[in-house]
Copies of this chain bind each other. A is one copy, B any other.
Amino acid sequence: MARTPRKSPSPHTKVKGRSVPSPPEATGKSVPPPRRRRTAEEARAEILDAAERRLAELGPDGVRLQQIAADVGVSHPAILHHFESRERLLSEVVRRAIQRLEADIVQAIASKNEADEPPALETIEAAHRVLVAKGHARVLAWLMLAGQTQEGGTGVRTVAEVAHERRVRIEPNATFEDTLFRVLLAGLAMIGEAVAGPTLRAAARRPGEPEDAQMPERFRAWLAKLLTTSLESG
């Protein structure tokens, strides 16, 4: 019997507790469940939220219209009413996510244009909040792995230029490529953290050793320090 031609794990789990009630109890006929009517804008937002959640968790192929509909509490054609096709829905999700990501990054950079001395730690923490904690890096990782977008490198150049401009005031001899490499390394580490961080850390501790909750934070601090050391020697 061909039972599950789709994703194997998490077969029917609801993300939120919504879903259509459809009480099979009492009334002999069948009481059609009460219908909630949102504004088009509200509905679109709720649907996009649910879709983005699933996209970050399960990837593009985990985004199923019926699941999203269940999360939101509507029937799946309602989604097709607001977004004309699944594909359009997905590209809307991506568009919105990247737009928010850019805004967050701009804000994170702009928010501290003062000359606070150790800029790396703050920048690393901001990037971590935006990319890893908010789940954006996972969405990007899915998209880049699937090769569905080229727009994953949002603002890398800008960040590198801003960082270098600030850096040469202290280290006039620093080359731009060196700064760029540091930014790239931080970016790669963020993506890697979002994809493989927990797994790698789990593999790093010796068997039976309990998880060290402070380790990710310590690691980021260490990384910030590493990224601000000059490598003149040998």
Contact = CB atoms under 8 A, between A and B. Distances in A.
Interface in A151-201: 151-157, 160, 177-178, 180-181, 183-185, 187-193, 195-197, 199-201
Interface of A: 7-9, 58-59, 61, 87, 138, 140-142, 144-148, 150-157, 160, 177-178, 180-181, 183-185, 187-193, 195-197, 199-206, 218-219, 222-223, 225-226, 229, 231, 233
Contacts of A195: 141, 144-145, 191-192, 195
A153 B207 CA distance: 13
A202 to B, nearest CB: 6
Contacts of A206: 157
Given A203-B156, A204-B157, A196 B140 contact: yes
A218 B8 CA distance: 42
A190 B192 contact: yes
A53 B193 CA distance: 25
B189 A153 contact: no
Contacts of A189: 185, 188-189, 192
B148 A9 contact: yes
Nearest to A159: B204
B142 A184 contact: no
30 contacts: A8-B87, A9-B147, A9-B148, A142-B145, A144-B196, A144-B199, A145-B145, A150-B199, A153-B199, A156-B200, A157-B204, A177-B218, A178-B222, A181-B219, A183-B204, A184-B201, A184-B219, A185-B185, A185-B189, A185-B223, A185-B226, A187-B192, A187-B200, A188-B192, A191-B195, A191-B196, A192-B192, A225-B231, A226-B226, A229-B229
